[in-house]
Amino acid sequence: QVHLVESGGGLVQPGGSLRLSCEGSGMSFGIATMSWYRRAPGKERELVATLYRGGSTTYSDSVKGRFTISRDNANNTVYLQMNRLKPEDTAVYYCRAVRISEYWGQGTQVTVSS
């Protein structure tokens, strides 16, 4: 059974940084496509970043240049480094793994506010 657990969210001031983690069990992240999504209050779910098996990455225009997705295969963990955070980055962030089937974590809240 596959489980994804996100952590690292919290309250941060505008311009600050956070690093989210997504730790998995039951699946090797090294052979999966990993993504981070977010859902802000009253908005649709948004794809933020994707890390493909071969190592290539894609980002939404809203976070490009500020966020970085990476993977630690030894610890089966995917990260989302978020820099220069803005109030509009406030959302619940979810980790998603795709390998034949898709799996989601429970989400972690990120609040950017002064």
- pLDDT tens by residue, 65-77: 999 999 998 899 9
Residue 2: both structure tokens together: 């596959």
Q: Give the confidence band of 37 by pLDDT, cuts at 50, 70, 90.
A: very high
pLDDT at residue number 63: 98
What does the pLDDT average to over 23-44? 91
pLDDT at 30 over 90: no
What mean pLDDT, rounded, does the chain reach? 95
Distance separating alpha carbons of residues 72 and 74, to the nearest angstrom: 6
H/E segment holding residue 50: strand 46-51
Under a CB-based contact definition with an 8 Å cutoff, are residues 94 and 104 in contact?
Answer: yes
